Structure 1
Amino acid sequence: MTLLHWHYPTEILVGENASSQLVSVCQTSSIQRPLFVIDSSLANTQAIQSILTACEEASLTTDIFDSFEGNPTGEQVESGNTAFLEGKHDGIIAIGGGSSLDIGKAIALVAQQKQSLWEFEDIGDNWKQADSTLIAPVIALPTTAGTGSEVGRASVITDTQSQCKRIIFHPKMLPTHVILDPTLTVDLPAHLTAATGLDALSHNLEAYCSPSYHPMAEAIAIEGMRLIKLYLPIAYTDGTNLQARTQMLIASSMGATAFQKGLGAMHALAHTLGARYNLHHGLLNAVLMPYVLCANRHYLHEKMQRLSHYLELEKEGFDGVLEWVLGLRKQLHVPHSLSELGINNQEQEVIASQALKDAAASGNPIHLSQEQYQAVFNFALNGKLDL
């Protein structure tokens, strides 16, 4: 398979066994002492061991940091900062799903700064407090096709004190190099292929639906959804299909590129529920997707008409898109309701309040009140669509 070399929005190397180029990329980035930030479940796999061996043979000094969860916390970022400083590292190589990439980028931003992590929350111009010369370069190798964090300028980190997720932002958090290697994703189980793939869909879909004017991002989003429609069912059924795995990695990066246009209520609720229940972010987005679509239905008629045509759906307009989403979820064996994930209604008012305050809420097609967020949550909890 021919390697593709892209520079949008950062330098991206795409193709089978592209990870074999990592040493060369480190040398290009002047990284001699990288800290590997890797999901603990991946650290001992043959693929990762081969990467580490290649780095050692090239006389790179490496350490591994893997002490973090699927929803990384502020305390875990602090532990990573300590590992970075004690090892005298000069760069981050983040390998894994969104958690690895997010915490890797957060460590790169904060480890050498005087300020604490939360001082760089994406509010106003907080990011300008950072000394940009102290931000370490990041090379990202995603092993899931979901978050697209490899092309993002932010990290989502859980604040355990307030039980909410906070978005940490700086333009230079964007990895300098991204390696999209489908061979790193073939061992992903089918249920995680589904959850991460629908996370990629949620990014493209919410970006497309956002009322912000950004035609470039909107164009990326609709093509990302077309790729997901074609290739997610294949990757789910046959995880060894490298073409499907490659196209899903591309669609995932497209989603995170597109959502600079905005996200919405889907992510506002998923962030809130993920922080409180420590559930998989992509799975939450997958469950919430049709309920949030219905909440925005009256705004979306024209956009759904165009989308249904572009995706060549059997039915036109909003109903066609909703029918496709529901059918895809069913095909991928995704739960229909939040209650199936072990969520109950005991904290519904708090959940609605936090979702309303979440940074993603501002990109929703219409402004939803706390009462409306609570209603959407209850529809999703009970598996009832508000048609």
Structure 2
Amino acid sequence: MDINQYRMNWNYPTALRVGVGRIRELPEACRQLGMSAPLLVTDPGLATLPMLDRALLQCRDDGLKTGLFHGIKGNPTGPNVMDGVAAYKAGGHDGVIAFGGGSALDAGKAIALMVGQDRPLWDFEDIGDNAGRVNVAGMAPVVAVPTTAGTGSEVGRASVITDDEAHIKRIIFHARMLPALVILDPELCLGLPPKITAATGMDALSHNLEAYCSPLFHPMAEGIALEGMRLVQQYLPRAVSHGADVEARLQMLVASSMGATAFQRGLGAMHALAHPLGALYDAHHGLLNAVLMPYVLVANRASIEPQMERMARYLNLAKPGFVGVLDWVLHLRNEVGIPHSLSEIGIDDKRIEQVGQMAEVDPSAGTNPIAFSAAQYSQLFEKALRGTL
């Protein structure tokens, strides 16, 4: 295998630099966007790792006045974002490097939005025409550098931020939140533990799968989602079992970006449930989607049989149709070490009704193949909690 064959520059859905060692281009990427003093936004865990030190040193050696902000949670909150805005302004920064997993990318994009606004963060929630309130001229440019293959936030136009007062996740949206430049370097993923590799990889699968099942008309997104799922099928087990497999790491980064590109078509019940569960229990988003996946497939079966027939053929599954897809998902989860039920990851039954109510009104519920009621979402949650397919 010649890993250099994958060294490419792409321009869809934004400018992406793909390949081993591309992180060395970070200073030049910042300058390309007009930055001379970027703020690097990351999470507390990454802030202590050598890869982060190297990135900072590269930028500073190149003459960039580079600051560091790492005060964000695994599910970033509104105060986390505003603390980042304060750090941005105090340091006289002129752009953001969003560096890390989904939490760092979402927080970095939200900080870049908020540095030039005079309204509170929640005024830009993805409801109605709220995006029209944004002072676009005040937004800061963003270079996104993912270090996990899951959320695909590096190619997304939104950030999922937890309102910790209301105990709900809110989607902050504006088309210009899409990072202007992305670096996909698989070497940044090589130290990722198997459990995190599995959970984030299944998150990438959930994005592709739910986009593929969406009832909206968007053939381009449907095609991207189908190929994204094939990449997960082929490379996620390799990335989990052989963490130093650079090709598998790169292909999973690509599958992750494809999932977030495809879900322009919408998501569904997995995310409608994962969002409130993440807000209420502070659980890992990708792991929630991974556990919920087969239960949601079963619940949606009556409306997705034709899509499952095509998917089973494209992935060359052992069995045809829905049964083939469900068997594959269950086998893949077991192969990469995903628990079978929500109770195994610390979720309890004290909020069954509340979760159902929150899921029904979550934005992702709008493109689920079936419009479930709050009671139906509660029943679906309870089945996933008990492990009853």
Normalization by structure 2: what TM-score? 0.98
Cα RMSD for the two superposed structures: 0.7
The one-letter code matched in structure 2 to 1:231 is Y
Q: Which residue of 2 aligns with 1:286?
A: 290
Q: Which residue of 1 aligns with 2:271?
A: 267
d(CA) in 2 for partners of 1:84 and 1:257?
28
Q: Which residue of 1 aligns with 2:251?
A: 247
Contact 2:204 2:259 in 1 (8 A): yes
**Among residues 10, 24, 28, which one is paired with 1:24 in the alignment?**
28
Q: Which residue of 2 aligns with 1:359?
A: 363
The one-letter code matched in structure 1 to 2:78 is G
* SS in structure 1 of the partner of residue 217 of structure 2: coil
Q: Which residue of 2 aligns with 1:276?
A: 280
Is it true that 1:57 corresponds to 2:61 in the alignment?
Answer: yes
Q: Which residue of 2 aligns with 1:195?
A: 199
**Among residues 309, 312, 322, which one is paired with 2:316 in the alignment?**
312
**Among residues 128, 134, 142, which one is paired with 1:130 in the alignment?**
134
Is it true that 1:380 corresponds to 2:363 in the alignment?
Answer: no
d(CA) in 2 for partners of 1:160 and 1:27?
36
Structure 2: give runs of 5+ residues left out of the alignment: none
d(CA) in 1 for partners of 2:365 and 2:87?
35
* SS in structure 2 of the partner of residue 43 of structure 1: helix
Deviations 1:234-263 (A, max 9, x none): 000001000000000000000000001000
Contact 2:168 2:280 in 1 (8 A): yes
d(CA) in 2 for partners of 1:56 and 1:131?
30
Is it true that 1:204 corresponds to 2:208 in the alignment?
Answer: yes
Is it true that 1:73 corresponds to 2:77 in the alignment?
Answer: yes
**Among residues 227, 232, 242, which one is paired with 2:231 in the alignment?**
227
Runs of 4+ in 1 over 3 A off after TM superposition: none
Structure 1: give runs of 5+ residues left out of the alignment: none
Normalization by structure 1: what TM-score? 0.99
Kindly state the Cα deviation for residue 42 of structure 1 after the two structures are TM-superposed. 1.4
* SS in structure 1 of the partner of residue 313 of structure 2: helix
Deviations 1:99-127 (A, max 9, x none): 00000000000122111100000001101
Contact 2:14 2:182 in 1 (8 A): yes
Give me the identity figure in percent: 56
**Among residues 212, 217, 222, which one is paired with 1:218 in the alignment?**
222
* SS in structure 1 of the partner of residue 183 of structure 2: strand
Give the aligned length: 385
Deviations 1:7-26 (A, max 9, x none): 00000000001100111111
Deviations 1:301-331 (A, max 9, x none): 1100000000000000000000000000000
Q: Which residue of 1 aligns with 2:123?
A: 119
The one-letter code matched in structure 2 to 1:192 is I
Q: Which residue of 1 aligns with 2:178?
A: 174
Kindly state the Cα deviation for residue 384 of structure 1 after the two structures are TM-superposed. 0.5
d(CA) in 2 for partners of 1:44 and 1:99?
16
Q: Which residue of 2 aligns with 1:14?
A: 18
